[in-house]
Chain A
Amino acid sequence: DAKTTQPNSMESNEEEPVHLPCNHSTISGTDYIHWYRQLPSQGPEYVIHGLTSNVNNRMASLAIAEDRKSSTLILHRATLRDAAVYYCILRDRTGSQGNLIFGKGTKLSVKP
């Protein structure tokens, strides 16, 4: 399975933008880039996913490098509620890979 590399932790100030990087140099042409996050004592929740083009939704934006070997999850204005572990995961778009494989993720701390 193609792997991802993320920093172990990051800090942000409240109401400032946050850029969470992810490297996936062995990504294949059929891999989607998925982001999930896990708030303390909760199950993971879906954030966003993309293939080639940048994506926006109400939670975040996903910026994908032209060569697709890296991506960045952007939280436009961090809130205290955004403190969580963020996971970047590759998922084959053909559905041949049945399960999501979670790495260690990036633990985001948000300071008031």
Chain B
Amino acid sequence: NAGVMQNPRHLVRRRGQEARLRCSPMKGHSHVYWYRQLPEEGLKFMVYLQKENIIDESGMPKERFSAEFPKEGPSILRIQQVVRGDSAAYFCASSPATVYGYTFGSGTRLTVV
């Protein structure tokens, strides 16, 4: 069992470019969660998805950020027109159901230059 796979591990983007972060949940897990961690800060919830559905996006910024979890393939967190303040570690987690604990990936560290 490969665990939760996130790629890339490190991503550098210039201001104004798009960033795409991928997350493959553990086998058998249909619930995916994205978190953001700014330098020296705690983990902040962004969005919770099940296959093809966004369940809770209360932590997502209103503009430039979007997430999807298609029927086939990984979950994608997309950030358009990145700004320096988007530089952070983005973690994905998965679970088989909401009553269970999460398994986290190793994260994608986004640096905007």
Contact = CB atoms under 8 A, between A and B. Distances in A.
Contacts of B93: 43-44, 100
A100 B103 contact: no
Interface in B31-89: 31, 33, 35, 42-45, 48, 55-56, 59
A93 interface: yes
Interface stretch (A20-28, A58-66, A71-79, A101-109): A101-109
A95 interface: yes
Contacts, number: 54
B107 A98 contact: no
Given A99-B56, A103-B42, A104-B42, A46 B102 contact: yes
A36 B93 CA distance: 13
A49 interface: yes
A56 interface: no
Given A95-B98, A98-B55, A100-B102, A44 B48 contact: no
A98 B101 contact: no
Contact of B105 (A38, A43, A94, A98): A43
Interface residues of A, number: 22
Contact of B106 (A36, A42, A96, A99): A42
Contacts of B35: 102
A97 interface: yes
A72 B4 CA distance: 29
B98 A43 contact: no
A43 B55 contact: no
Given A99-B48, A100-B45, A102-B42, A49 B107 contact: no
A19 interface: no
A95 B97 contact: yes
Given A98-B55, A100-B33, A104-B42, A44 B104 contact: yes
Interface of A: 34, 36, 38, 42-46, 49, 93-105
Given A43-B105, A98-B98, 4 more contacts: A34-B101, A44-B104, A98-B31, A102-B42
